[in-house]
Structures are given as C-alpha cells and as structure tokens.
Amino acid sequence: MLELVTISTLNGVLYGMLLFLMASGLTLIFSMMGVLNFAHASFYMLGAFFGFQISQFVGFWPAFFIAPVLVGGIGALVERYGLRRVHKHGPVAELLFTFGLAFVIVEIVQMIWGKGPADYRVPPSLNFSAFTAFSTNYPAYKMFELLTAIAIFAVLLMLLTRTRIGLIIQASLTHPHMVAMLGHNVPRIFMLVFGVGTGLAAVAGVIAGPALVTQSNMAGSLGPILFVVVVVGGLGSLFGAFLASLLIGLVQTFAVSVNLSIADVLQPLGVAAPSGGALFDIWNVTVAQIAPIIPYLLLVLILIFRPTGLMGTREQ
C-alpha cells in the first residue's frame, strides 16, 4: 500500500508538472489575447516529433535544446502571420483559427511521420534506474523529466517576477495601452510570449515523447485535458493552473491504480447487482476504468459550483 502511494505520488507529480509546463504557456497566452490556444497540445506533439527527428541526426541532448527553439519559432510565426490577422474578426475567429491549426498540424504530422508510433527512445545516458523504492526500480529518466519541469518552473517564476522583461510582460497583460505608450512594442511582446509558450509546450513534448508514445494522436488525447487544467485552475491564473495541474496529475494517476467498482463496495453490504442494462455497466465499472473521464467530471462540477475556477477572478 505504502509502495503504491509513494510511486503513484511520484508519477502523479511528474504528470502534473508536465501538464503545468503546457498549461503555463496556455494561461499566459490566454491572459494576453483572451483566447485559448486550441493548438497548444499540437505544439507539444510537434516538440516530441522534432525531438525524435533531430535526435536521429545529432543525438538526444542537442535535440533537447534545438527542438523547443524551432517549435517556439514556428509558434511566433503563427502568431505574427496568423493570429494577428484574425484578431480583428474577434475572439471566436481566433479560437476557430487555432482549432483549424490543431487540425492541420495533426494532419501534417501524419503526412510526414505517418500514423504509427515513432521510435523515440530514452537516451542511453539516462537509461538506468535512479533508486529502488519498495522493490520497484524507479527509472532515472522520469527523475530527469521531473527535475527539468521543476527547473523550468523555477526559471519561469524568476523571469516573470524578478526581471525587467517579466515586469513588462506582466504589465502588458493587464495594461497593454499604457505599456505601449511607455514605448514598448506590445505586439512584439505578445509574439514573444506566444513563441515562449509554444516552446515550453515543445519542451514538454521532447521530454515526454520517449516516456509516453510519440504518435500523431498524442495531441488529441492530451489537448482536452489541458483545457480542463486551465479552466479548473481558473482562466488566466498561473497559480491556479499549477494547482489544477498537480490535482489532475495526482487524481488520474491514483485513479488508474484503484481497482474498485460499485459492486465491490455494495456486495458485502448485501445489495444485489442489477441484472442487466445500462445500470449493470455502471455497477461493474472500476475506478481505473473511469480514470479517463474523471478530469471532465471535475470540469463539469467546477463549472457548476465554482464557475471562475479554483483561483480565477476573471468573470466574463
């Protein structure tokens, strides 16, 4: 039991930190433009595929640095020549633009790398077990992922709160006109934030690719969870996104390891199982089986009882 809790906590925190790497960029972009970037998970996927492709040529470590920069550059170009043009048609058009972009990126990835999984492996230099806890070997690569995510989180926090550029970014989120009047190029700041945000998503992709499966459906399966994170955390709140990332990471990791159904709970109490139909399915479904839908249930519940999210203040 203790083993399960320890390992699940580690995995949950790891998954949560990966989610936060993406959610942080998404939240910054949302605060900036008032638009949720539907294609954010697609940049994560691009990061994984770029990491895979570049590591084929020059090895994992250079790819770890080159891929996010490339993807961030693509993100900045998308902002400059796509989103900025659509901006005048209003927020719905912007959301739809990113929706179409997500669609196109998936198709382009399939066009180049095919539909099957790419052979993106953990680099040999990290392919050993970091420590042994309760007879389970915990892989060093996972520790590397965790440390990378935490390091980036720390750097981002320092950058945003302790440096001049961070101050300007924070100011342009809330008072773009004032910042522009002080002589800063606000559109360029937005482009920078968009590029860095997508670059962060790509970092998550590069480090998650070998651990998970690098495949063209990875954006589609992660994207909706990412939206759950930013909505549950409260749209536009970085700290909320952090809490929600950890929450969803932990909840999902723990749910997968619980093999309990309603039948298991009620059978000892003498309640008979229903004979058939839809109720029978609900009766015998285990918590592990419903793990994929827990985030969405959480989203619906949050939106009913606390529409602004955990830490959100923005009421539209």
Partner 1 sequence: MSDVTTDTVQLPAAASGASAPRYADAVRYAAPWIAVAVAFAVLPMIFSSGSALTTLSLMGIMIVFALSYNMLLGETGLLSFGHAVYYGLGGFLAIHAMNTVIHDHLPLPLFLIPLVGAFSGLLFGIIFGSVSTRRAGVAFAMISLGLGELVASSSLILRGFFGGEEGVSTNRTKLLHVFGLNFGPQIQVYYLIAFWCLVCMIAMFAIRRTPFGRMCNAVRENAERAQFVGYNPQVVRFMAFALAGLFAGVAGALAAINFELVNSSMVGAEPSGLVLLAAFVGGIGNFIGPVIGAIIVTWLEVTLSDMTDIWQLYFGLLFIGVVMFAPNGIAGLLMMHVPLWRARAYRPLSRLVLTYLIALVPALATLAGLIAVIEMIYHRSVKASDGATISLFHVTLDTTSVVPWIAAIVLLIGGFLLFRRTWPVVGAAWHDAIMYAQGAGKKK
Burial of 251: CB neighbours in 10 Å, binned 0-12, 13-18, 19+ = middle
Residues 99-138: x/- map of binding to partner 1 (CB under 8 A)?
xxx-xx--xx-xxxxx------------------------
Alpha-carbon radius of gyration of the chain: 21
Q: How far apart are CA 164 and CA 175, in angstroms?
A: 16
Both tokens assigned to 303 = 């939106």
155 lies in the binding site for partner 1 (CB under 8 A): no
303 lies in the binding site for partner 1 (CB under 8 A): yes
SS3 at position 133:
strand
89 lies in the binding site for partner 1 (CB under 8 A): yes
Q: Residue 163 CB, nearest distance to partner 1 (Å)? A: 30
With respect to partner 1, which residue has the nearer C-beta, 186 or 232?
232
CA-based nearest residue to 34, from 43, 44, 26: 26
Q: Are 39 and 205 in contact (CB under 8 A)?
A: no
306 lies in the binding site for partner 1 (CB under 8 A): no
SS3 at position 137:
strand
28 lies in the binding site for partner 1 (CB under 8 A): no
Q: How far apart are CA 206 and CA 159, in angstroms?
A: 22
Residues 211-230 that bind partner 1 (CB under 8 A): 220, 224, 227-228
Q: Residue 4 CB, nearest distance to partner 1 (Å)? A: 23
Binding stretches for partner 1 (CB under 8 A): 34-36, 82, 85-86, 89, 91-93, 95-97, 99-101, 103-104, 107-108, 110-114, 220, 224, 227-228, 231, 235, 276-278, 280-282, 285, 289-290, 292-293, 296-297, 299-300, 303-304, 307, 316
